[in-house]
Amino acid sequence: MKKKIIFQKCNFNNIYFLFYVISIFINLLIENYIYPDKSRIQDEKELNSYILPVKILLDIYIQNLSDFLAIIPHLIRNRLLKKKQSKISSVEIENTKDSEDLKLIYNDKNISITNKKIKTILLYIILIGILDFFEKLSLILYLIIYSNDNYNSYSFSCITPFEIIFQFICSYFILKIKFYKLQYFSLFLNLGIFIIILIIDIFNFKRAEYSWDGKVYIFYLFNIISYSFEFSLGKKIVLYGFISIYLLIFIRGSVELILSLLFSLILYLSKKDVFIKMGFFFSYKDYIGLMIAKIFSGFFSTLFVWLILDRFSPNYFPLSLILYEFISFIINIIYNSNYINAIKKNWDLYIRIFLYLISFIGVMIHNEIIVINICNLGSDTKYFLDLQVESDELFAKTDNPEIMKRFDSLIEINSDNPDINVNENETDN
């Protein structure tokens, strides 16, 4: 095959990535307006003290409420399934009316296996709820311990490449997703990007050009571990097929509600002023409206993430991570004047943006959205394996002597050069 780079055809399910981007954009936009400004709180020190209450309000309480909206599509889905099952049952009854002997098969072993799987799924969902809560809590703990620091002031850092690598590794061990040449190429490509950006980050920290504290890496590590395991376990549940993603989100939200109440009790006993500052946001109608909008937008962003996991795999989620970074960067440029002044000093900004674009391509390569036909890298991909199957079927079914001669000649060539695909002549024609 002459083509060195092959783009796979778009799938209808790719539209969920577009919906996710839109929902994330709305989410970040709402969050930007919920944060109090100097028109309402003039003292800058007092203004900074609202960062923690807003973070807890948005990431724990409002996000937790948004999970319970999943019960609506779950009930709709169940109703549609019942209608479909009733139609199928009526057809089966009509087909068996003339039958005299109806044999009922009852298998205790099958039922016990099913019950065991359901118990395993419930255990996994509880674990997913715990992991999701700790994912949100990890960065909040950073703000509680280091209240004067801000971890949102540095774009395109080494965090996202590390997230991508860790997600690949989690999928490899938990879901047993095999790595072939193209996947290893993508993994080492992202590893190289991570090392380069990490060196730039350390250099910038040493020069004290950023207010971003290096200690946040420890908390980000727990954040990344939590959600990577969560998505891999979530995909494992989806593969079992006994539960819908809507019910999964709802049960996860129920588990998080218990943990949120426990966290609130501890926080109330140690930092009562956080709850007093939360009351500030309920004293303005525009903030209340924004928080309600955040519940719905948070639900849709969560839903589209799980739809991506359901239709594809956790290894597709890193595409969303990179898109999130770019969207966050654009919104900060539009709405934050201090951010614009800060990025003007960034000598390395364009380097990091370029590396993120390469990383995006690397993730597409990993998931075989882009197939590289260089140095036999794509030999184990689904695209080339499908071509091989088509070639074998054509060779098995054909009676045309010209085609048979062509295959015989290609087989002889391939014995000397295994990099040449059997279907090369057919593709060129």
pLDDT band for position 164 (50/70/90)? very high
| 146 against 424, higher pLDDT | 146
> What pLDDT score does 288 carry?
92
Count CB atoms within 10 A of the CB of residue 136. Answer: 23
Distance, in Å, from the CA atom of 71 to the CA atom of 248, rounded to the nearest integer, reads 10
Paired sense of beta strands 5-7 and 370-372, if any: antiparallel
Domain ranges of the chain: 1-13+154-210+312-374, 35-91+109-149+212-219+229-308, 384-428
Residue 40 has pLDDT above 80, yes or no: no
Q: Chain-centre distance of CA 128, in angstroms?
A: 14
Residue type, 283: S
> What pLDDT score does 405 carry?
54
Residue 269 has pLDDT above 60, yes or no: yes
- 275-314 tens-digit pLDDT: 988 888 888 888 999 999 999 999 999 999 999 999 888 9
The residue among 221, 51, 231, 256 whose CA lies nearest residue 138 is 221
Query: Residue 143: which residues within 8 A CB-CB, separation 6 or more?
Result: 51, 52, 55, 149
| 228 against 216, higher pLDDT | 228
Give the residue-averaged pLDDT of 87-97: 59
Would you say the C-alpha torsion 275, 266, 220, 216 has a positive or negative sign? positive
Backbone phi and psi for residue 105, each to the nearest 5 degrees, phi listed first:
-100, 125
- 310-356 tens-digit pLDDT: 988 899 999 988 998 898 888 888 877 666 666 666 778 889 999 99
pLDDT band for position 104 (50/70/90)? very low
Backbone phi and psi for residue 178, each to the nearest 5 degrees, phi listed first:
-75, 145
| 353 against 38, higher pLDDT | 353
Residue 427 has pLDDT above 50, yes or no: no
- Percent of the chain's residues with pLDDT above 70: 73
Distances (CA, A) of 322 to 226, 317, 328, 353, 360: 18, 9, 10, 10, 7
The residue among 319, 326, 327, 325 whose CA lies nearest residue 365 is 319
Residue 128 has pLDDT above 90, yes or no: yes
**Helix, strand or coil, per DSSP, at residue 175:** coil
Residue 203 has pLDDT above 50, yes or no: yes
Q: Chain-centre distance of CA 194, in angstroms?
A: 19
Residue 56 has pLDDT above 60, yes or no: yes
> What pLDDT score does 419 carry?
47
Q: State both tokens at 155.
A: 């774009």
The four Cα atoms 322, 324, 325, 328 give a dihedral, to 10 degrees, of 160
- Residue 310 CA neighbour count, 13 Å, CB half: 17
pLDDT band for position 420 (50/70/90)? very low
Q: What is the mean pLDDT of the chain?
A: 79
> What pLDDT score does 152 carry?
52
> What pLDDT score does 429 carry?
37
Residue 107 has pLDDT above 80, yes or no: no
Distance, in Å, from the CA atom of 307 to the CA atom of 325, rounded to the nearest integer, reads 20
The four Cα atoms 262, 56, 49, 159 give a dihedral, to 10 degrees, of 120
Give the residue-averaged pLDDT of 356-373: 88
Residue 142 has pLDDT above 90, yes or no: no
> What pLDDT score does 238 carry?
87
| 140 against 48, higher pLDDT | 140
Residue 97 has pLDDT above 90, yes or no: no
pLDDT band for position 151 (50/70/90)? low
Q: Burial, 26: exposed, middle or buried (Cβ in 10 Å; 0-12, 13-18, 19+)?
A: middle
